[in-house]
C-alpha cells in the first residue's frame, strides 16, 4: 500500500489485533512504534518486526496518562520520525451490569478507550498537521451498535469512539488528515475469549460453547482473525482511502449490517 517513509503509532500492539495491524503496516513499508503498557510483550513484537526487515521500536505507554503519552511519542519520533499514522487500538473488556454499583470497571473503560484516544490524537495530530497528511484509525466494535447485556462500560465506550471519530474527522479534514473507525465483529483474540467466558458464566453455559455458537451465527461461517482487521487498517492508511473520513467500517463477516 506504499507507506514507505511514514512512521506509525499502534496502541495495544503487544498482542491480538494491535500486533496484526503493526505487522501489516510494517509489511506496507511503515516504520512502526509498537505501543503497549506491557513493555516486555511490546518489545517482543517490535523485535519480530525488525527481524523481518522493518524499522520498529517498542514504547511502553499508558494511554490514560498524558505525560506517558507525550514522552513516549516524542521518544518514538526521535527514532522513527514524526508519526503520520495513528491506530488507537488499546482496549479493555470488563463485564459490567447496571445494578452492580461499581464504577471501577466503568472508569477504566472510559479512560483507556475514550480518554486514551483523545490523548494519543492530541499528541500525534500536530506532526500530521505540519506534514499536511495524516491517518488516524480508531478501533470501535460491533458493540458500538449492538449489545448483549451486562456490557454497559464496553458498549458505552465503543459507541463514544464513533462520536470521537466523526468529530476528529470534521476538525482535521482541512489538514488532509483522514480519521476513520474500524468496528470488528467476533475476532478470535484473548479479549473475545474473555467475553465468551463472561457470557458462559453469566448464563451457565458449557466452557467454550459461546465461541462455537458464535461462529455458526456468522454468515461467512467463521470467526474473524486479527489479520482481517489489519487488512482494513492497511486500506484506511493508504492513498486509496484519501476521500474517506469520519466513517466507521464494520468488519464482521456479515453478522451485523449497518
> What is the Cα 59 distance to its own chain's centre?
16
The residues near 221 (Cβ < 8 Å, ≥ 6 apart) are: 215, 253
Cα separations (Å) of 139 from 40, 182, 243? 23, 5, 19
How far is Cα of residue 240 from the mean position of the Cα atoms in its chain?
20
* 110 beta partners: none
- State the burial class of residue 171 (Cβ atoms within 10 Å of its Cβ: 0-12, 13-18, 19+): middle
Cα distance between residue 217 and residue 212, in whole Å: 9
Q: Looking at the annotation, which residues are catalytic?
A: 154
**Sign, CA torsion 59/63/65/71:** positive
Place of cell 475469549: 193
Q: What are phi and psi for residue 35, nearest 5 degrees?
A: -105, 130
Task: Retrieve residue 34's grid coordinates.
Answer: 509498537
Q: DSSP for 2-39, please give it.
A: --TT-EEEEETTTSHHHHHHHHHHHHTT-EEEEEES-H
Q: How far is it, in rounded angstroms, from Cα 144 to Cα 162?
A: 7
- Are 136 and 124 in contact by the 8 Å Cβ rule? The answer is yes
Amino acid at each position: 500500500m506504499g507507506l514507505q517513509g511514514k512512521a506509525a503509532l499502534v496502541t495495544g500492539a503487544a498482542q491480538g489485533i494491535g500486533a496484526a495491524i503493526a505487522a501489516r503496516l510494517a509489511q506496507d513499508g511503515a516504520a512502526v512504534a509498537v505501543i503497549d503498557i506491557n513493555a516486555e510483550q511490546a518489545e517482543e513484537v517490535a523485535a519480530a518486526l525488525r527481524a523481518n526487515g522493518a524499522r520498529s521500536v517498542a514504547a511502553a505507554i499508558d494511554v490514560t496518562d498524558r505525560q506517558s503519552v507525550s514522552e513516549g511519542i516524542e521518544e518514538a519520533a526521535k527514532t522513527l520520525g514524526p508519526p503520520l499514522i495513528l491506530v488507537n487500538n488499546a482496549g479493555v473488556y470488563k463485564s459490567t451490569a447496571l445494578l452492580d454499583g461499581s464504577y471501577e470497571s466503568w472508569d477504566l473503560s472510559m479512560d483507556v478507550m475514550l480518554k486514551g484516544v483523545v490523548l494519543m490524537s492530541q499528541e500525534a495530530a500536530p506532526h500530521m498537521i505540519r506534514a499536511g497528511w495524516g491517518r488516524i484509525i480508531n478501533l470501535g466494535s460491533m458493540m458500538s451498535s449492538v449489545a448483549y447485556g451486562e456490557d454497559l462500560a464496553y458498549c458505552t465506550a465503543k459507541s463514544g469512539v464513533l462520536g470521537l471519530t466523526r468529530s476528529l474527522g470534521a476538525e482535521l479534514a482541512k489538514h488532509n488528515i483522514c480519521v476513520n473507525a474500524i468496528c470488528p465483529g467476533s475476532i478470535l483474540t484473548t479479549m473475545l475469549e474473555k467475553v465468551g467466558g463472561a457470557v458462559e458464566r453469566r448464563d451457565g453455559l458449557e466452557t467454550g460453547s459461546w465461541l462455537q455458537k458464535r461462529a455458526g451465527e456468522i454468515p461467512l461461517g467463521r470467526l474473524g482473525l486479527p489479520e482481517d482487521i489489519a487488512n482494513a487498517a492497511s486500506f484506511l492508511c493508504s492513498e486509496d482511502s484519501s476521500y474517506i473520513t469520519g466513517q466507521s467500517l464494520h468488519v464482521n463477516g456479515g453478522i451485523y449490517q449497518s
